Amino acid sequence: MKILLVYPEFPDTFWSFKHALKFIHKKAGAPPLGLLTVAAMLPPEWEKRLVDLNVANLTEKDLAWADFAFISAMIVQRSSAHALIARCKQAGVKVVAGGPLFTIEHEKFPTVDYFVLNEAELTLPPFLADLSLGHAQHIYATNEYPDIHQTPAPIWSLANLKNYDTVSIQFSRGCPFTCDFCNVTALLGHQPRTKTAAQIIAELDSLYALGWRKSIFFVDDNFIGNKKHIKNEVLPALIEWRKGKTGMPFSTEASINLANDPVLLKLMVQAGFDTVFVGIETPNEDSLAECNKNQNKGRDLVESVKQLQRAGLQVQGGFIVGFDNDSPAVFQQQIDFIQKSGIVTAMVGLLQAPFGTKLYERMEQEGRLVNEFSGDNVDGSTNIIPKMGLEPLRDGYRKILSHIYAPKFYYERILTFLREYQPPQIRIHMEPQYVLALWRSIYQLGIRGVERTHYWRLFFWTLFRRPRLFPLAITFAIYGFHFRQVVALHIN
């Protein structure tokens, strides 16, 4: 059996970093973790080939070679997935589809031959068994959650890692919180399920053996969902593993209550974590209560962010406007918070209601659902009718983005962060493309760019006052270039 594993293309989004990746001659952020993991669950005697449309073209030879095309996608890849499926069907290749997009919207893809939905540990084995007997069903789904202690390591060798700037691995699934706009718990449950420390170390060892030295992103929706396990087993194992290693800084996603636990915070930094994405959402307490974001309520959110930064973690933040309790004042409140906190990478989006969430159910009951959920956090779209009115909301949203990513305020935010940040002790693995990226940034941003005055101020301030942070400062400058291109698509 010949299996073509195909990953649809991402549009130009906030997290695609397409414009930034050009500076280091990389084609995409990370290889498709889900497909590489599914590949490891397929019979070992089957031939497997990965085509990531973010880094390579799908050729007629690929399609002629394949018996089946396995496709996985997120909602933001919807358009590319439709085009990909049509091409496979035209070539006579049977399509097997899974992942978040198809789990939520499989009825919108009538030409797919087989759906293997939810988590593949439970739904893939019965599909493979039925397929071997010649009577595979159209849909395989489950309401149960698997024990991921049995999940195999991804087959990294299927991907050309030279095309990517980071690699994703997964430690846990599920989140203990109940934010009503988030579909993580609808897909993966409230009880965090974790891999063992031995599983994580084995995955890291395999990447290190392949020569990988760049960043590792733990894709967990809340890395600290099971604090006891990570404090007692996983982080000590990572600390021990890192001894004598070069490069491979870690990043992840976590809730803001990480700031409440200095022991956990210290262990994460010792283990090599230097970046964490946190869902801040809003400084408006009434809106936090509305969306059941209880872990953010009743705290000084700016100070919590500063605690993480001072401990050695760069904080990337997610923000939302459009809650029922948001007044027109919320737009300036968000701007002030983002600038004061020094969150350089600030993703701001309109409130959207994914299918399966409590917010979706409430909006449906109130007759306030419109359009289609885009899955893009910063495209300025929403699938609900906001209480403040759609145009005032969009005007305020454009005000936020045009402010926080204007060069003057963006570079000010970088300096605010660099004054607070105490970087972890990670031995950097410097590659030639990063040196070349510096020269490209000098030309693109320091000579040609509209931000050149701010660029050179940051350049020399960091070089003389925080020289250890100079590579990070240049990275932020390059990120800013990407963010401005993406913002320009949505506010004009």
Q: Residues 457-480: pLDDT tens digits?
A: 999 999 999 999 999 999 999 999
User: Is residue 277 domain-resident?
Assistant: yes
Q: Phi then psi for 325, rounded to 5 degrees? A: -90, 5
Q: Quick check: 343 and 479 in contact, CB under 8 A?
A: no
- 59 Cβ contact partners less than 8 Å away, ≥ 6 residues apart: none
Same domain, 331 and 281: yes
Structural domain contains residue 194:
yes
Last residue of a domain, one of 123, 140, 157: 140
pLDDT tens readout for residues 180-219: 999 998 889 888 999 999 999 999 999 999 999 999 999 9
148: in domain: no
- Could you give the 3-state DSSP secondary structure of residue 64? helix
Q: Which CATH number fits the domain that encloses residue 75?
A: 3.40.50
- Domain match, 87 and 46 both: yes
Residue 54 has pLDDT above 80, yes or no: yes
Domain final residue pick, 420, 440, 469: 420
Residue 154 is assigned to a structural domain of this protein: no
Sheet holding 2-7: strands in order across? Answer: 47-52, 2-7, 68-72, 94-98, 114-116, 139-140
For residues 342 and 465, membership in a common domain is answered with: no
Q: Are residues 387 and 365 in the same domain?
A: yes
Residue-level pLDDT at 403: 97
Q: In what order do the strands lie in the sheet with 166-169?
A: 166-169, 215-218, 250-253, 273-281, 314-321, 346-350
| Domain end residue (candidates: 124, 140, 156) | 140
Comparison of pLDDT for 113 and 189, the residue scoring more = 113
458 in the same domain as 361: no
Q: At residue 146, what are phi and psi to the nearest 5 degrees?
A: -80, 160
Measured from the Cβ of residue 124, the count of other Cβ atoms closer than 10 Å reads 18
Can you read off the two tokens belonging to residue 30?
Answer: 């990370």
Q: Are residues 437 and 415 in the same domain?
A: no
Residue 492 is predicted with a pLDDT of: 63
Let me know whether 399 and 440 are in one domain.
no
> What's the confidence (pLDDT) of residue 377?
82
pLDDT of 226-243, one tens digit each? 999 999 999 999 999 999
Can you give the pLDDT at residue 371? Answer: 83
Query: Cβ neighbours of residue 53 under 8 Å, at least 6 residues apart?
Result: 6, 7, 8, 9, 80, 84
26 and 109, same domain (yes or no)? yes
> Considering the domain boundaries, does residue 151 fall inside one?
no
Domain span at residue 298? 165-420
Query: Which two structure tokens, joined as six digits, stand for 488?
Result: 């320009």
Count of the separate structural domains present in the chain? 3
pLDDT higher than 90, residue 372: no
Average pLDDT of the chain, as a whole number: 95
Q: List % helix, strand, coil for the chain (3-state, nearest 5).
A: 50, 15, 35
Same domain, residue pair 289 and 410: yes
pLDDT digits (tens, 9 = 90+) for 15-44: 999 999 999 999 999 999 999 999 999 999
User: In this structure, are 242 and 199 located in the same domain?
Assistant: yes
Considering the domain architecture, whether residues 348 and 311 belong to the same structural domain is answered as yes
> pLDDT digit string (tens) for 399-440?
999 999 999 999 999 999 999 898 877 666 667 778 889 999
With respect to residue 149, please indicate whether it lies within any of the assigned structural domains: no
Q: What is the rounded CA–CA span in Å between residue 83 and residue 179?
A: 33
| Distance set, CA 286 to CA 12, 98, 154, 219, 294 (Å) | 33, 38, 43, 30, 11
Digit-coded pLDDT (tens) for 70-88: 999 999 999 999 999 999 9
Q: How far apart are CA 301 and CA 289, in angstroms?
A: 15
Residue 422 pLDDT: 86
Judgement on whether residues 128 and 169 belong to the same structural domain of the protein: no
The pLDDT, as a whole number, for residue 376 is 87
CATH value at residue 380: 3.20.20.70
